[in-house]
Structure 1
Amino acid sequence: MIRKTRTASQLQDEVSRRIQRLPDIVEEGVKIRVPRPQLQQPDASGCNWDMKHFGNLAGHERSVAAIVAAVRKEFSLSTDTKDLNSLFGDGTPGEK
């Protein structure tokens, strides 16, 4: 399966969205802090990122790990430097 490429913010948002839709999370009203994905050398599956150190995770480790695993199968972390530049407004048309 070919992975789609996403920025760190997009991956963080996707994982957060999926976590916040879990029935147990919704029922308990828990807000889990999702860290930014960290770039790594591609592992055996070919994934080039991982997430560690979630906040307020107690009791939901398995569910969150399953979501991260699913998102890692679908997406790669963008290594394109223009994504970084856009955070600071560099190279954006019309800026002075």
Structure 2
Amino acid sequence: MAKRERSRRVIMEEVSRRVQQIDEIADEGRHIQVPDPQPHPRDGRGRNWDMARFGNARGFEAAIRNVVDDVRDEFDLTDEPVSSVPNPFGD
């Protein structure tokens, strides 16, 4: 299955949404600071980005890594912004 391409902002928002839904994080009312995804050459699993250094994440590193790896398997990072809203000017 081909991965969907997403911009840095969209990937960051998706990781943040999923991280905040981790039961332990939600139960404690923590807000985890999510960094920008960093591009890298495609690895052996076909992933082209990663994230490191989450803020306020002490004790939740393994759960957050699982979320990041799931999103990395699902989405490729692209430099092109992907917009579902058509340009009203037709450019």
One-letter amino acid of the structure 1 residue matched with residue 10 of structure 2: Q
Q: Equivalents in 2 of 1:14, 1:55: separation in Å?
A: 16
Structure with bigger gyration radius = 1
Structure 2 residue 43 is matched with structure 1 residue 53: no
Where do 5+ consecutive residues of structure 2 fail to align?
82-86
TM-score (norm 2): 0.86
**Per-residue displacement from partner, 1:66-87 (whole Å, max 9, x unpaired)?**
000100000000133xx3xxxx
CA RMSD of aligned residues (A): 1.6
- Matched positions, count: 85
Higher helix share goes to which structure? Answer: 1
TM-score (norm 1): 0.82
Identical columns (%): 40
Q: Higher relative CO (CA 8 A, sep ≥ 6), structure 1 or 2?
A: 2
Where do 5+ consecutive residues of structure 1 fail to align?
84-91
